[in-house]
C-alpha cells in the first residue's frame, strides 16, 4: 500500500482551518495542526480522530520564524514526510477609515497574513522537494482580488498572498510542487462573526454581495482546498480559485 500522505494546516483551531483538517483526514491524509490556542486545537484533533484520521497538534504562531521552522521539523519527526500544506491562518482588522489605522494594526495584519504565509512556504517547500513534489494552497480572500473600503490593510495583505502564491508557483512548477490560492467570499466562521457581530443590517448587506443569496460554509472552502491539493488538480498551479458564491463575477 502507498505511504499515507501528510499535510500541514495552519490556523487549525477554528473555522475554515479546522473544517479543512477534518476533510483532509477523511481523505486518509495525516494532518499536522498548527495553531496557537491549545484547547481549540485539541478539539480539532479530536474531530480528526473521530473522522478516523491521524494527526498532531503543534503549537505555532505562524508569524514567528522559529515556530514556522519547528512546525515542519515536528511534522517530519512524527510522520517522516510532508506532501501538502494549507496556509490558512489569518486575522482581520476592525473596519475603520483609512487614515485612522495605526502602524501596530498594519504590522499585526501583515505579520500573520503575509509574513506567516511566506514563512510557512519557506519551510514547507524544502521538505516537499525531498519527496519529489507536493501541493500548497494559501488562503487569500475575495479581498485579494477586489478592494473594500475600511479594510485597507486586510485587502493589501490578501493581495500579497496572491503575489507570494504566483511567484512561488513559477519557481517550483518544474519541481513538482503546485502552489495555488483560494479566495473565499464571506464564510460563516468566528472571523465573520467578529466582522459583523449582531448587526442584522450589515449581515444582510454582506449576504447581498453574493449572487447565490447566502454566505458560504467552511465545508465549501474545504472541498475546494482538498481538490486543489489532490492529483485531480494536477495541471493547476499559480491559480486563484474564487469560492465566493459569484461575488467577484457580478
Ligand X SMILES: NC(=O)c1ccc[n+]([C@@H]2O[C@H](COP(=O)([O-])OP(=O)(O)OC[C@H]3O[C@@H](n4cnc5c(N)ncnc54)[C@H](O)[C@@H]3O)[C@@H](O)[C@H]2O)c1
Applying CB under 6 A, which of residues 45, 191, 196, 242 lies at the interface with ligand X?
A: 191
Cβ neighbors of 137 (< 8 A, separation 6 or more) are: 85, 86, 87, 179, 180, 181, 182, 225, 228, 229
Nearest residue to 86 via CA among 225, 249, 185:
225
Applying CB under 6 A, which of residues 7, 13, 58, 75 lies at the interface with ligand X?
A: 13
Applying CB under 6 A, which of residues 5, 8, 14, 137 lies at the interface with ligand X?
A: 14
Mask: binding to ligand X, 139-178, rule CB under 6 A, as x and -?
A: x-x-------------------------------------
Residue closer to ligand X, measured from CB, 121 or 186? 186
**Separation CA 82–CA 80 (nearest Å):** 7
Q: Does 8 bind ligand X (CB under 6 A)?
A: no
Other C-beta atoms lying within 10 Å of the C-beta of residue 198: 7
**Separation CA 97–CA 52 (nearest Å):** 47
Q: Which of 79, 84, 123, 154 is catalytic?
A: 154
Q: Does 87 bind ligand X (CB under 6 A)?
A: no
| Least Å from the CB of residue 174 to ligand X | 29
Q: Is the dihedral of CA 201, 112, 37, 71 positive or negative?
A: positive
Segments in 111-146 forming alpha helices (H)? 116-130
Q: Does 76 bind ligand X (CB under 6 A)?
A: no
Mask: binding to ligand X, 23-62, rule CB under 6 A, as x and -?
A: ------------xxx----------------------xxx
Q: Does 73 bind ligand X (CB under 6 A)?
A: no
154 is catalytic: yes
H helices then E strands: how many in the chain? Answer: 9, 7
Q: Does 186 bind ligand X (CB under 6 A)?
A: yes
DSSP code, position 55: E
Residue closer to ligand X, measured from CB, 10 or 127? 10
Q: Indicate the SS3 state at residue 210.
A: coil
Which spans of this chain sit near ligand X (rule: CB under 6 A)?
10-11, 13-17, 35-37, 60-63, 88-91, 112, 116, 139, 141, 184, 186-187, 189-192
- Residues annotated as part of the active site: 154
Amino acid at each position: 500500500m502507498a505511504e499515507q500522505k501528510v499535510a500541514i494546516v495552519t490556523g487549525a483551531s477554528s473555522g475554515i482551518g479546522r473544517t479543512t483538517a477534518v476533510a483532509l483526514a477523511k481523505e486518509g491524509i495525516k494532518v499536522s495542526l498548527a495553531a496557537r490556542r491549545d484547547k481549540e486545537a485539541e478539539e480539532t484533533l479530536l474531530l480528526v480522530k473521530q473522522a478516523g484520521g491521524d494527526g498532531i497538534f503543534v503549537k505555532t504562531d505562524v508569524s514567528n520564524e522559529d515556530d514556522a521552522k519547528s512546525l515542519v521539523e515536528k511534522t517530519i519527526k512524527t510522520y517522516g514526510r510532508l506532501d501538502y500544506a494549507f496556509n490558512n491562518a489569518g486575522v482581520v482588522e476592525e473596519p475603520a477609515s483609512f487614515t485612522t489605522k495605526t502602524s501596530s494594526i498594519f504590522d499585526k495584519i501583515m505579520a500573520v497574513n503575509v509574513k506567516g504565509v511566506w514563512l510557512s512556504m519557506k519551510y514547507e517547500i524544502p521538505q516537499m522537494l525531498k519527496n519529489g513534489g507536493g501541493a500548497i494552497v494559501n488562503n487569500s480572500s475575495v479581498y485579494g482580488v477586489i478592494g473594500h473600503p475600511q479594510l485597507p490593510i486586510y485587502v493589501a495583505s490578501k493581495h500579497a498572498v496572491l503575489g507570494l502564491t504566483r511567484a512561488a508557483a513559477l519557481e517550483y512548477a518544474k519541481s513538482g510542487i503546485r502552489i495555488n490560492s483560494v479566495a473565499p467570499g464571506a464564510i460563516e466562521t468566528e472571523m465573520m462573526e467578529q466582522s459583523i457581530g449582531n448587526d442584522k443590517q450589515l449581515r444582510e448587506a454582506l449576504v447581498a454581495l453574493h449572487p447565490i443569496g447566502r454566505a458560504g460554509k467552511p465545508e465549501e472552502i474545504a472541498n475546494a482546498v482538498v481538490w486543489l491539493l489532490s492529483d485531480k488538480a494536477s495541471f493547476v498551479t499559480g491559480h486563484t480559485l474564487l469560492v465566493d458564491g459569484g461575488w467577484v463575477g457580478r
